Structure 1
Amino acid sequence: MRRDTFLKTLAALAATGALPAAWAQAGANLKMMIPANPGGGWDTTGRSLGKAMLDAKQAATVTYDNKGGAAGALGLAPFLAGAKGDPNQLMVMGAVMLGGLITSKSPLNLMQATPLARLTTEYNVFVLPANSPHKTMADVIAQLKKDPGSVKWGGGSRGATEHIAAAMIAREAGVDPSKINYVAFRGGGEATGAILGGNVTIGGSGLSEFAEYISTGKMKAVAVTSGERLDSAKDIPTLKEQGINVEIGNWRGVFGGPGISAAQRKGLIDAIVATTKSASWQDALKKNDWTPALLTGDEFTKFVEAEFANLRDVMTKAGMIAS
């Protein structure tokens, strides 16, 4: 049998589940949909996962497709349409996508795609531009109470965790959350530029995206959304210890294409689990201050469904969407 014929035969057997799922993934040419612009948390997550899959020999090649906007909806739409039945396509996503779909009342149904795994949780940090007249979160709250619209909150798309956190902070401060002035950006790079340029009053994102600028004094960190101070940033106070009863995490995960078989789903999950045990992925966790939060298969499906319900409740109570 000719080599090319042999390889085609193996590929066909892998697609039907006749070969071990692990082999199918090791020989796969994966395509990673990243529904965000370069430079942000999803982009870093997707590329770190892809690199780790290569290093762990869970994929032969990985290519990336960035389509940012609308809290991931602009990338979700072509993924739902183009990845149907294809076990070699993945999409990174997370809490931001759920929030964006809820606030926009999008007709897209995320659950048409195949839930594979939750990977990490990351807490948001709020920062001030270096030249800000404010010094603390208390200063920002004081201005918020005086004139809610004068405080420009910069962050990711509408429905992002930093948007939800800003609304929750306003509610805790006795301010109508619907009156907050939230400026949404398409990616982490744009938000960072706006903060560095002093174009927003306060900005929020994952610690990994701001760490360099905080350490060099170009941004001043005034609060983190975790329940306790982070080990990697002990000098940044939590909102709770400043009298603001708000705690919220930004989890990220990965979905497969719609309509893949149970065997194909298991093969992808097995490949992801093996990848998370690799030195490459462990290095990414440490470098980006991500908290590992692996949850796979049906348990992840249940988690996402519960998150949709929880976020809708929180956002309704915060005045971000109509009840």
Structure 2
Amino acid sequence: MKSGKYLSLTRWVATSVTALGLLAAGPALALDSIKMLVPANPGGGWDQTGRGLQQALQQSEAVKKVQVDNKGGAAGTIGLAQFVNSAKGDGSALLVGGSVMVGGIALNKSPVNLSQVTPIARLTGEYDVLVVPASSPIKSMKDLVAQFKANPGSVSWGGGSAGGTDHIIVAMIAQATGVDVAKINYIPFAGGGEAQAAIMGGHVTVGLSGYNEFAGQIEAKKLRPIAVTSGQRLPGIDVPTLKEQGVDVELSNWRAVFAAPGITEQQKKELTAAVDKAVRSKTWQDLLAKNGWSDAYLVGDAFKTYLDNEVAKTEKIITNLGLVKK
């Protein structure tokens, strides 16, 4: 029995140290409060991530009270600017962001960027689904590509902010199918709710977003899913990939959380420890399963290195696709 207990304790310690690295020495006591800024309107993936993390932080007792505020627009860069300017040195502030923001910064040549905040952790990854209204004559990617190639402007694509993952996916589809990227008719929306209303109302031909944002309408047969952007079919979701249908495109949308500029090393440790406790909770694990999010948890220097690489890669993609404003 003693040996079994010792091994269990050793395994627990090793897991904690691996996750937090040098930050494992963070405080065990809960933080009193956190203000979390979601740089998007309610209803979208960032909002769902922020609200989910709020729930996990509180229910795991990592933080006593978490307040979430929304400030949408310009691929998250409006919220980012507000956060950079107002939260400097604030050890109780967090910002939700991710690949969409990286693309928006590059596309819009934003005066603020992610080098001005403190990376805490990558949280999730999610693949897009392409949907059309149930009444649409488009039944598959073959139908969509045929119309897109014949008359690119006649296909309106509704997705997240310009320069974000959705926009990049459309540009990659155009490139893969021989359509001029400059002829894309892309309509950006600041939140998932707005995009869904536009698709349901027939104001756009096809919509793109994370599967969970459209799941209810798909299950109700009001929206028809025609493709997912993963390399293989998603578990429990019987929707063919783009690659299966002859369109060689694969891209994931990752989401993360950042702290304010200019915080101390101790404040960073406290926030990292709180987030670590939250993502290991049953509440968070249940949310991953419910929302179809992949667990992409990455902290510390490993996340900083990943972020730097993603920024460079995304800037290259956007430039190569001709999306950067002159």
TM-score scaled to structure 2, two decimals? 0.91
1:136 aligns with 2:143: no
Give me the whole-angstrom Cα distance separating, in 1, the residues matched to 2:113 and 2:231: 32
State which of 146, 149, 152 in structure 2 corresponds to 1:148: 152
**Partner residue of 1:16?**
none
Query: How many positions carry a matched residue from both structures?
Result: 302
Q: For 1:307, what is the secondary structure of its paired residue?
A: helix
Q: Does 1:218 align with 2:219?
A: no
Within a 5 Å distance, the mapping from 1:131-280 to structure 2 comes to 131-233=135-237, 235-280=238-283
- Aligned partners of 1:32 and 1:58: how far apart in 2? 14
Partner of 1:115: 119
Structure 2 gap ranges (5+): 1-24
Partner of 2:27: 22
What secondary structure is seen at the aligned counterpart in 2 of 1:280?
Answer: helix
Q: Which amino acid aligns with 1:22?
A: P
* Matched AA of 1:174: G
Counterpart check, 1:65 vs 2:69: yes
CA distance in 1, matches of 2:319, 2:116: 25
Counterpart residue number, 2:324: 321
2:17 — aligned with what?
Answer: none
Q: Distance in 2 between matches of 1:81 and 1:316?
A: 28
Runs of 4+ in 1 over 4 A off after TM superposition: none
Paired with 2:169 and 2:114, the residues of 1 have a C-alpha distance of 23
Residue aligning to 2:44: 40
> Counterparts of 2:236 and 2:320 in 1: how far apart (Å)?
32
Matched, 1:50 2:57: no
Structure 1 residue 100, shift from structure 2 partner: 0.5
Letter in 2 for 1:269: T
The CA deviation string for residues 175-219 of structure 1, in whole angstroms up to 9 with x for no partner, is 111210000011000000001111100000000001111111100
Please say if residues 121 and 297 of structure 2, whose CA atoms lie closer than 8 Å, have aligned partners that are also in contact.
Answer: yes
Tell me the amino acid that sits aligned with residue 312 of structure 2: A
Identity %: 52
Partner of 1:282: helix, strand, or coil? Answer: helix
Between the aligned partners of 1:57 and 1:160, the Cα distance in structure 2 is 34
Paired position in structure 1 for 2:110:
106
Contact 1:316 1:322 in 2 (8 A): no
Is 1:96 aligned to 2:95, yes or no? no
Secondary structure, aligned partner of 1:60: strand
Given that 1:125 and 1:223 are in contact with CA atoms closer than 8 Å, whether structure 2 keeps it comes out as yes
Q: How many angstroms does 1:306 deviate by? A: 0.6
CA distance in 2, matches of 1:265, 1:218: 45
SS in 2 for 1:157: coil
Matched letter for residue 78 of structure 2: L
Corresponding residue for residue 16 of structure 2: none
Amino acid at match of 1:281: W
Contact 1:227 1:238 (8 Å CA) reproduced: yes
Task: Indicate the residue corresponding to 1:304 in structure 2.
Answer: 307
Q: Does structure 2 retain, via aligned residues, the 8 Å contact 1:178–1:318?
A: no
Question: What is the DSSP-based 3-state SS (H/G/I as helix, E as strand, rest coil) of the residue aligned with 1:178?
Answer: helix
Q: Secondary structure at the match of 1:28?
A: strand
Q: Distance in 2 between matches of 1:171 and 1:91?
A: 33
Cα distance in 2 for partners of 1:268, 1:245 equals 40
Once superposed, what is the RMSD of the aligned Cα atoms? 1.2
Shift of 1:321: 1.8
